[in-house]
Amino acid sequence: MSVGTLKITGATDPKGAREDLSNLIRTADVAETPFFAMAKKTTGPKNVLFQWQMDKYNAVSRATVADGTDVSLASNSTDFTPTNTRALAKNYVHVSQRSTRVGFYTNDIQTVAGVPSEFDRSMARRTFELRRDMESVLTSNQNGNFTSNTAKTKALGSFISENGKASANVGGTGANTNDSATDVDSNFRVTAGTTAATSVQTTVTLTETEVQNLLESIYSQTGTSGDFDGIIGVGLKGKFTKLAGTHTTAFTAAGARNLQVNREQDDNRLISTIDVFVGDFGRVRLHPSTFVDGDLGSDAGKAGGYFLNMNGVEIKYHTPPTAIKLTTDGGGPAGLVRSIYGLCVYNPLEHGRFRTATT
């Protein structure tokens, strides 16, 4: 061997060898935010507490009137159909915020693979995280409240509740204090149970009857069948798939078995998913979410979900997600991303829900 030959004896030889570091940075957690993506965004609250009106028609009447009967004009007359069927709905705004700071060494001197600017990258990530925060807030069971100069918006689980709010049997023992001003009026509250008359199905085993019951209940309130978007936990999404899966195994004789498979398949492919449920009273597009009912804990959240008429839901912005650069005083760039918003559910009777949490 020639003494003068330069050879590589290790991964870092010879001295001064540059590292081959790719500019690729991969983030695995990129959870989708289906409710945030689909809900209408409008300009809205000019105050911390904002309001809108709900209305409904009177119940049908099968009464008849005798010939020649006059309408009584007395102040206590029951001859006049009630006209005051409206009710006010109220909600508070919510402030979601993420901030970041990068030291001047890191931002100005260090060169990191795949990161032209640590501060710009950090602000972009805070913006993405803010959107997930908003999804988690809006699809939770949070009650509307204002205490200690801090507002919390009333979320889906608090609107779509038989109590008009998320009490312990809805939001669990950790349900936050409710401001009664945001309670849903008693004439516009959904019902809960396991029958066809209930818009909040509470067993969620899941059977086709439960799904049809929920859709039938919404239809009985609105009188129309339509398209819904199902923002549902990943566990509930799996149960929908099983509705059309393999159901029947029967033994007809010793060693003989009949297996019924209700899935499309061929020699090298098995399709096992349901993305749309079409029932007697409507069509539901299913969107799995890792954030829905997250305040109830991962297990209960995975098993729950909402059937929403997205034409009846809004995210009202006072301030849409906005990046703000902060003063630094020389320590390095700093900034925050903030949004001030509130949830508006036009009328809870247009929607339904699957819920499992009771404690």
Residue 6 inside a domain? The answer is: no
Percent of the chain with pLDDT over 70: 75
Secondary structure element (H or E) that encloses residue 341, with its range: strand 334-345
If one counts every other C-beta atom within 10 angstroms of the C-beta of residue 245, the result is 15
Q: pLDDT per residue over 243-264, tens digit each?
A: 866 554 555 556 555 555 556 6
pLDDT of residue 348 exceeding 70, the answer is yes
| Domain ranges, residue 91 | 34-355
Count structural domains, the chain: 1
What is the band of 22 on the pLDDT scale with cuts at 50, 70, 90? Answer: low
Mean of per-residue pLDDT scores for the chain: 82
In whole angstroms, give the CA distance from residue 245 to residue 263.
Answer: 6
User: Sign of torsion, CA 151 154 155 157?
Assistant: positive
Q: What Rg do the C-alpha atoms of the chain give, in angstroms?
A: 28
Beta strands 226-233 and 305-308 are antiparallel
Residue 145 inside a domain? The answer is: yes
Q: Report DSSP letters for 244-283, one per residue.
A: TSEEEEEEEETTEEEEEE-S-EETTEE-----EEEETTEE
Confidence at residue 359, expressed as pLDDT on a 0 to 100 scale: 40
Residue 228 inside a domain? The answer is: yes
Residue 11 inside a domain? The answer is: no
In whole angstroms, give the CA distance from residue 224 to residue 215.
Answer: 10
pLDDT of residue 74 exceeding 80, the answer is no
pLDDT of residue 135 exceeding 80, the answer is yes
* Secondary structure class of 344 (helix, strand, coil): strand
Token couple for 6: 């330069």
- Phi and psi at 255, nearest 5°, equal 80, 0
pLDDT of residue 26 exceeding 70, the answer is no
Residue 7 inside a domain? The answer is: no
Token couple for 246: 């393999």
What is the band of 337 on the pLDDT scale with cuts at 50, 70, 90? Answer: very high
Straight-line distance from the first to the last Cα atom of the chain, in angstroms, rounded to the nearest whole number: 78
pLDDT of residue 72 exceeding 70, the answer is yes
Angle formed at CA 195 by CA 191 and CA 197, multiple of 5 degrees: 45
Beta strands 200-201 and 150-152 are unpaired
Residue 21 inside a domain? The answer is: no
Beta strands 282-289 and 334-345 are unpaired
Confidence at residue 273, expressed as pLDDT on a 0 to 100 scale: 72
In whole angstroms, give the CA distance from residue 131 to residue 93.
Answer: 16
β strands within 129-281, DSSP E: 145-147, 150-152, 192-193, 200-201, 226-233, 246-253, 256-261, 265-266, 269-270, 276-279
Residue 287 inside a domain? The answer is: yes
The separation between CA 281 and the C-alpha centre of its own chain, rounded to angstroms, equals 22
Q: What's the pTM value of the predicted model, to 2 decimals? A: 0.82
CB-based contact 102:109 (threshold 8 Å) = no
**What is the signed CA dihedral for 142, 143, 146, 148, rounded to 10 degrees?**
-50
Residue 10 inside a domain? The answer is: no
